[in-house]
Amino acid sequence: MDDSGNFKLLGGSSILWESFKDPADTVLPSQILDKGVALSSRQSETNFSKGRFQMVLQSDGDLVLATVNLPSKHVNDPYYKSGTAGDPNSSSPGLQLVFNESGYLFVSRENEERSVLTPTITVSAKDFYYRATLDFDGVFTLYSHPKASTGKIASWTALWSEPDNICTAAPVGASSGVCGFNSICSLNAEKRPSCGCPRGYTLIDPSNQYGNCKPNFTQNCEQEPAPAEDLYEFEELTNVDWPLADYALLEPFTEDQCRESCLHDCRCAVAIFRLGDKCWKKKLPLSNGRLDPGLDGGKALLKVRKGGRPPFCPSFPNQETQKNKNKETLILALSALGGSVFLNFILISVTCLGFYCIYQKKHKPLPVNEVIVETNLRSFTYKELVDATNEFKEELGRGAFGIVYKGTLQMSYVTQVAVKRLINTLVQGYHDKEFKTEVNVIGQTHHRNLVRLLGFCDDGDNRLLVYEYLSNGSLASFLFGGSRPSWSQRIQIALGIARGLLYLHEECSTQI
């Protein structure tokens, strides 16, 4: 290693490799970067693997900063340009990025002109070390460090950086931007980007402040359990925008009209109201989020679940601490289960068990005419279900409480369903209001490990439940069929059932 900091591997009298020609995230005085030689940021302050930002002198002579879509090598459009690309009518293109021994950074052009990037240096190269680093937050920064010891712990001091405000730099398509998706970038006191999730959202990886945020609730375009006004509210954020996520521009619109339109649009995650009469509706994922004072009071109306609660089922903060820890551990272990093929087998099993638990309990009866309003479940006649199942022709499975048949219904669209017919001996003495009360409770449960209840039949002595149809069959047929699952698969199934039970016993608004 020579005095400039260039580390060289020699073979005889020739240089086989040198760090100045293959840089990581930093350039040092006397180092020159040719066209196509890139700096890559690290992933975080403590993770030195390649990160999401890159600096390179392009073939056209422009020095640019851009994001990279990891784990691929795809480089997005630049969020910063030095403006040194060649213009046939005025100047020659940039040729090299030079960091001279005096601490100045400049782009040398083909005609030997210089485009200086750094301002006048206020500290002497005789007394200070210099380095220029593409930091993990995407800012290219010139630092200095005193050479002489002063008795105090010295640190690197930032002298210059580019861009001035990376949060408001040019938005980048096909990328989350400086921060993760659904996040907001703002400049902190040190003029560095700080990323954060808005209310109602949390980091997917809590250890990565600059990562993606996810909503703590689910908004879908299927029938919700209550009117939108009862489920959602708006978090008002001044001078906040996600520039590239809009799918509709409405004008002229008042702010109230903008709110109302987003509230009743299942695709709308946020509405931006600016310029007095313009309303931009945006959908997830939200990219390039930023706090931008230049928006002059524009409002982001972020749609969130009322009270910050998860969908359909409020949390219960008064649970014992140990129960909360157990719940968090269980959910962490099962977070990958949602996409598993075994989920379909878990759903019917857990729901049937949940209905059995409800059946064993007595609820205060509700007025009959309230049931449909509260749950949005459809009430079927016995004849409708006889016709739907072709007179209960195709049996899907049976248990201690009933037999499940396959059926086809014409609802808002033609759909296959599973119709559970309760055994007559069990429903004797089972009063109309009690049955509807329990259906009402099940109708308010919404969980990925519970099969969805679509409707019911309370016609004379006939008690039937109509569920969504899951094509993979019953749990019993999977466990005891010709191809037996492995031990690890059985553990996944058991944990999935446990997760559904945890929801029924501790998380639902009406705990079972």
What residues are designated binding site for ATP? 420
How many angstroms separate the CA atoms of 79 and 358, rounded? 57
Q: Other CB atoms closer than 10 Å to residue 295's CB: what's the count?
A: 18
The tokens describing 3, both together, are 């005095």
Which helix (DSSP H) or strand (DSSP E) does residue 406 occupy?
strand 402-410
CB 64 within 8 A of CB 50: no
CB 472 within 8 A of CB 344: yes
The tokens describing 242, both together, are 């996600």
How many angstroms separate the CA atoms of 208 and 23, rounded? 25
How many angstroms separate the CA atoms of 392 and 371, rounded? 26
Feature table: binding site: 420
124 burial (CB, 10 Å; 0-12 / 13-18 / 19+) is exposed
How many angstroms separate the CA atoms of 132 and 118, rounded? 11
In 337-401, at which residue ranges do the beta strands (DSSP E only) sit?
A: 378-380, 395-398
How many angstroms separate the CA atoms of 347 and 451, rounded? 5
The tokens describing 491, both together, are 């553990």
How many angstroms separate the CA atoms of 375 and 6, rounded? 71
- Concatenate the DSSP letters of all residues of 215-267 into one string: ESS---SS--SS-HHHHEEEEEEETEE-TT-EEEEE-S--HHHHHHHHHT-TT
How many angstroms separate the CA atoms of 393 and 308, rounded? 46
CB 201 within 8 A of CB 194: no
